[in-house]
């Protein structure tokens, strides 16, 4: 069993990626169980307090369901596997209960935690064969999603933040990924959210090949079936020089035309509906 960690930014599509990964019989990724953060504190004899950059909702619920699994006499990997398997078999948050006998990868959907510089030595030490999926979404889209989510459960993270402050957080977490790549020999793959949404079969085939697990056309069709493109007009914000540089490294736009801002999303929705209904 190997660790599998989604890294990058929140509001980048990590929940949807988790659902797609969990379609595979040999993969289980929990829906924000905070398992790495829990084990980091537990095995360092620290009080398990909420992670500073996220909502404590997932952690509290996972501890309520599986906290009794933790064993001081067990290794980090043993606690990790037993804890996550228990959540998988009981069902947790948006993931229904499942029983997968031949798991090759177990992970958690916590992009901040799984690349946090403070916790990386702990992850590398205890999961030396882990694989990382770096999920990237354009910061303008992250801002839109964050500000919309700010009015819902867990939205206190972005409640009083301006778009510029949200983009600063986006940049900080993307730099965490860059720094980890330089410091550690990570087995990591980049995945752009816009490409995942526009061509889920191609992108998930690439991810499954990276993981070294078998897949077929039925599995890829299922990935496409649960992926619903949601084109929206783009709102632009001022980018700093360093943010522009990051976007260039990801081959993402730093500026948008009036077609991108107003017309293209509407045309895309029209043609998508027309194609889907053929």
Domains and CATH numbers, the chain: 2-227 (3.40.50.300)
Q: What is the pLDDT of residues 81-137, one digit of tens each?
A: 999 999 999 998 878 889 898 999 999 999 999 999 999 999 999 999 999 999 999
Q: In the structure encoding, which two tokens stand for residue 224, read together?
A: 């496409």
Q: In the structure encoding, which two tokens stand for residue 193, read together?
A: 């959210």
pLDDT at 277 over 50: no
- Are 220 and 205 in contact by the 8 Å Cβ rule? The answer is yes
Whole-angstrom Cα distance, residue 158 to residue 141? 14
| pLDDT at site 80 | 97
Instruction: Give the residue among 108, 122, 135, 138 at the shortest CA–CA distance from 232.
Output: 138
Does the pTM surpass 0.85? The reply is yes
Mean pLDDT of 22-48: 95
Mean pLDDT of 142-155: 73
- Are 100 and 28 in contact by the 8 Å Cβ rule? The answer is yes
pLDDT at 258 over 80: no
Reported confidence tier of residue 255, pLDDT bands at 50, 70, 90: confident
| pLDDT at site 93 | 83
- Residues 6 or more apart in contact with residue 190 via CB below 8 angstroms: 134, 136, 250
| pLDDT at site 263 | 46
Q: How far is CA 154 from CA 56, 58, 76, in A?
A: 8, 10, 28
DSSP reduced 3-state for 102: coil
Reported confidence tier of residue 156, pLDDT bands at 50, 70, 90: low
DSSP reduced 3-state for 135: strand
| pLDDT at site 257 | 73
Question: What is the pairing mode between strands 187-192 and 2-8?
Answer: unpaired
């Amino acid at each position: 069993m190997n660790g599998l960690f989604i890294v990058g930014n929140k509001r980048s599509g990590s929940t949807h990626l988790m659902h797609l990964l969990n379609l595979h019989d040999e993969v289980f990724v929990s829906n924000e169980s905070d398992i790495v953060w829990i084990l980091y504190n537990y095995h360092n004899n620290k009080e398990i307090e909420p992670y500073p950059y996220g909502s404590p909702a997932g952690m509290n619920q996972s501890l309520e369901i599986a906290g009794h699994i933790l064993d001081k006499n067990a290794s980090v990997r043993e606690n990790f596997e037993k804890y996550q398997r228990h959540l998988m078999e009981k069902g947790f948050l948006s993931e229904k209960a499942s029983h997968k006998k031949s798991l090759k990868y177990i992970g958690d959907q916590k992009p901040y935690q799984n690349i946090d510089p403070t916790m990386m030595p702990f992850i590398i030490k205890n999961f030396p064969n882990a694989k990382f999926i770096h999920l990237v979404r354009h910061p303008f889209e992250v801002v839109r999603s964050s500000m919309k989510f700010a009015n819902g459960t867990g939205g206190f993270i972005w409640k009083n933040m301006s778009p510029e402050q949200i983009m600063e957080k986006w940049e900080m977490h993307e730099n965490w990924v860059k720094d980890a790549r330089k410091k550690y020999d990570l087995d990591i793959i980049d995945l752009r959210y816009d490409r995942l949404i526009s061509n889920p079969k191609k992108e998930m085939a690439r991810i499954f090949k990276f993981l070294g697990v078998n897949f077929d056309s039925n599995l890829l069709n299922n990935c496409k079936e649960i992926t619903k493109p949601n084109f929206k007009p783009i709102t632009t914000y001022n980018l700093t020089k360093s943010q522009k540089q990051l976007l260039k490294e990801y081959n993402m736009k730093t500026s948008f035309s009036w077609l991108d801002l107003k017309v293209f999303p509407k045309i895309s929705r029209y043609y998508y509906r027309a194609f889907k209904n053929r």
